[in-house]
Structure 1
């Protein structure tokens, strides 16, 4: 969906960067405290759950492919 003007009610927010984070210990539906590149996940908006274990699907939402963090991607690919 196209992004609306900042501050516009209902405007879609486009992420500046998409990071990968492991699941929180004992909580498979929650992100851990740090991304794979070491950033704090506290203030990050969570995307729908993606799995790196399904090779046919990318670990990130495909519509944000151009915003993927190269450091996180390198860890996921290894």
Structure 2
């Protein structure tokens, strides 16, 4: 399986403050995780690749602290973000396993 990096698509809009979930403050305009994606590492390195598995550009995304390799038997994403997982990225990773 390809080594993956979990990345967050953030909602930086001021209206996102009221939508923060547990574990996210959202106070003072802090970005809120809109969607969780997975991206392969860049060829020949451990750096984030340019696109997620669903094809979105990773440039404006933030790498998540969750590392799937540190949680054997768990899904590739952090459980607290299960409701925000990109279904296209999830499908690609499911096919690879």
Q: Distance in 1 between matches of 2:28 and 2:85?
A: 22
8 Å contact kept, 2:26–2:32: no
Q: Quick check: which one's strand share is greater?
A: 2
With normalisation by structure 2, the TM-score equals 0.64
Structure 1: which 5+ runs fail to align?
A: none
Gaps of 5+ in 2: 1-22
Inter-partner Cα distance in structure 2 for 1:51 and 1:2: 20
Q: Which protein has greater RCO, CA pairs closer than 8 Å, 6+ apart?
A: 2
Quote the RMSD (CA, aligned, Å). 1.9
Moved over 6 A (4+): none
TM-score for both structures, normalised by structure 1: 0.77
Aligned length: 72
